[in-house]
Amino acid sequence: MTHNGECRIIKGVGGEYTILLPDKEEVLAKPRGVFRKRNMKPTVGDYCQIEKSGDPDIPYTISEIMPRKNILIRPSVANIDVLVIAISVVDPDPDLKLLDKLIIICKKLDIEPIILFTKTDLDPEKVEVLEEEYKSAGIRILTSSKEETLPDEVIEEIFHERTVGIAGQSGVGKSTLCHKLTGMDHIEVGDISDRLKRGKHTTRHVELFPYRSGFLIDTPGFSSLDIGEVGLELEDVIGGYPELLAISGKCRFMDCRHKGELGCKIEESTISDGRLSRYREFLDIMIEKSKRYGK
């Protein structure tokens, strides 16, 4: 699906949307009334069609929302292509459960996950251990440190006509990275104020910033994505573990879940011990869930 020449919603505040036109001009638009009847809400990230409204204050109407590749509710954003998952090697200690959870969600939503180990200057040996643990997952791994940001050609490739979000715990270096990338200080992909917000239902607005030939998603909150939120099912857990998908069909039972079943060929998988135990943990959580809801 190519979106060259399409209008895109890059911001939405109080029912008024900012649309980026193909010629890079930004205009204001209101949605057509019919969307509400159809229970459709224009979402930041949507590709759309617009018409002149005749209203000088809000000169355009969103007349059509194009089919979405994916959508998240919290944060509210559509058509995400890449999620850079920032994990610091120390301070804060790496939350590998969060990392695996986000990988599972990405795979479910057709988003490319990229692992970025940050603060590698603080413990170079730890980086090697982490890289070892994830190297057979088939996921791109990048590193950054105080001195080194990402090479220009890597940034170019990541953002090439793609919409990119950055996730990770508070303090891992998301804002620092964004500042290095864009030079923009006001971008808040991080959750610097999450601590203050915790427990309150404050939703900050989401915004897309055109960056190189793609977009950077400016929103905190990717790290609080929940597996319940994206409609994840038991069968989706293994999608986050390509090392396990690689042995499918080898075990005695076709539907083997690699949890100690008879004739399981788990030893033929290249999966690390840590990843395997987190896979089994997520599987248990989903099994519990499906029991509770009687599925």
Q: Is the dihedral of CA 210, 213, 215, 216 positive or negative?
A: negative
Residues forming the site for ligand GDP (CB under 6 A)? 118-119, 121-122, 144-146, 168, 170-176, 190, 192
Minimal distance in Å, beta carbon 93 to ligand GDP? 13
Minimal distance in Å, beta carbon 118 to Zn ion? 34
Tokens standing for residue 163: 């919409």
Strands 140-143 and 112-118: parallel
Tokens standing for residue 150: 């990402």
Q: How far apart are CA 62 and CA 9, in angstroms?
A: 9
Q: How far apart are CA 174 and CA 194, in angstroms?
A: 13
Of 197, 250, 239, 253, the C-alpha closest to 221 is 197
Q: Binding of Mg ion at residue 73 (CB under 5 A)?
A: no
Minimal distance in Å, beta carbon 228 to Mg ion? 25
172 binds, options ligand GDP, Zn ion, Mg ion, none, Cβ within 5 to 8 A by partner type = ligand GDP
Tell me the number of residues near Mg ion by CB under 5 A.
4
The three-point CA angle 55-59-61 to 5° equals 100
Minimal distance in Å, beta carbon 145 to ligand GDP? 5
Q: Which is nearer to Zn ion, 33 or 260 (CB)?
A: 260
Q: Which residue has the tokens 């996921």?
A: 139
Q: How far apart are CA 20 and CA 38, in angstroms?
A: 24
Q: How far apart are CA 128 and CA 94, in angstroms?
A: 13
Interacting span for Zn ion (CB under 5 A) from 7-15, 37-45, 226-234, 243-251: 243-251
Which residue number has the CB closest to ligand GDP? 190
Q: Which is nearer to ligand GDP, 6 or 188 (CB)?
A: 188
List the end-to-end C-alpha distance of the chain, in Å, as a whole number: 34
Radius of gyration of the chain (CA): 21
Residue 140 CB contacts under 8 Å (≥ 6 apart), including other chains: 112, 114, 115
Q: Binding of Mg ion at residue 175 (CB under 5 A)?
A: yes
Minimal distance in Å, beta carbon 223 to ligand GDP? 9
Q: Which is nearer to ligand GDP, 43 or 223 (CB)?
A: 223
Minimal distance in Å, beta carbon 102 to Zn ion? 25
Q: Which is nearer to Mg ion, 30 or 174 (CB)?
A: 174
Pseudo-torsion of CA 238, 241, 243, 249, nearest 10°?
Answer: 10
Q: Binding of Zn ion at residue 238 (CB under 5 A)?
A: no
Q: Which is nearer to ligand GDP, 23 or 185 (CB)?
A: 185
Q: Which is nearer to ligand GDP, 6 or 131 (CB)?
A: 131
75 binds, options Mg ion, Zn ion, ligand GDP, none, Cβ within 5 to 8 A by partner type = none
> Where does this chain bind Zn ion (CB under 5 A)?
251, 256, 258, 264
